[in-house]
Amino acid sequence: MKRIIYLFILTLCLTFAFLDHDSNGVAYNPLFHNHNDQTDGATQSIAMPCGLGGSENHKH
């Protein structure tokens, strides 16, 4: 029974991911851009997620 509850909770989390995807869509794909790409007039930077956003890979 506990195993089923565990999988049920996991399914709920995955459903949340689906719903979030459905409502937000992919306005910007972080894997498809280069340094200094000009998209809609804005400078985009390579996306390397890091804690405080201080990586040299970012241009904040």
Partner 1 sequence: MNTLVKKIDLSVFIYSIIGTLVFSYLLVSQISHRHLYVFLIGIGLGVSLYHASFGFTGGWRNFIERRESSSLRAQIIMLGLAVILFSFFINSNSWIYQGKMIGAVAPVSLSVVIGSFIFGLAMQLAGGCGSGTLFTASSGNGKMAITLIFFMIGSLVGTYHFDFWRLAPSLGGISLLNEYGKVNSVLLQLSILLMLYYVVFKSDQKQNSNFSHFDIFDFTNFKLFKGPWPLILGSVLLVFFNVLMLQAAGHPWGITFAFSLWAAKIVQLIGIDVSSWAFWKLSYPSTALENSILADPTTVSNLGIIFGALAASALAGNFFKASLINRKILIAAILGGFLMGYGARLSFGCNVGALFSGIASGSLHGWVWFLFAFLGSMVGVRFRRVFYS
Name which of 41 and 52 has its Cβ closer to partner 1. Answer: 52
Is the alpha carbon torsion for 55, 56, 59, 60 positive or negative? positive
Site string for partner 1, 1-40 (x = CB under 8 A): -xx--xx-xx---x-xxx-xx--xxxxxxxxx-xx-----
Can you tell me whether residue 56 is helix, strand or coil? coil
Q: How far apart are CA 57 and CA 19, in angstroms?
A: 30
Among 12, 40, 41, 54, binds partner 1 (CB under 8 A): 54
Q: How far is the CB of 11 from partner 1 (least distance, A)?
A: 8
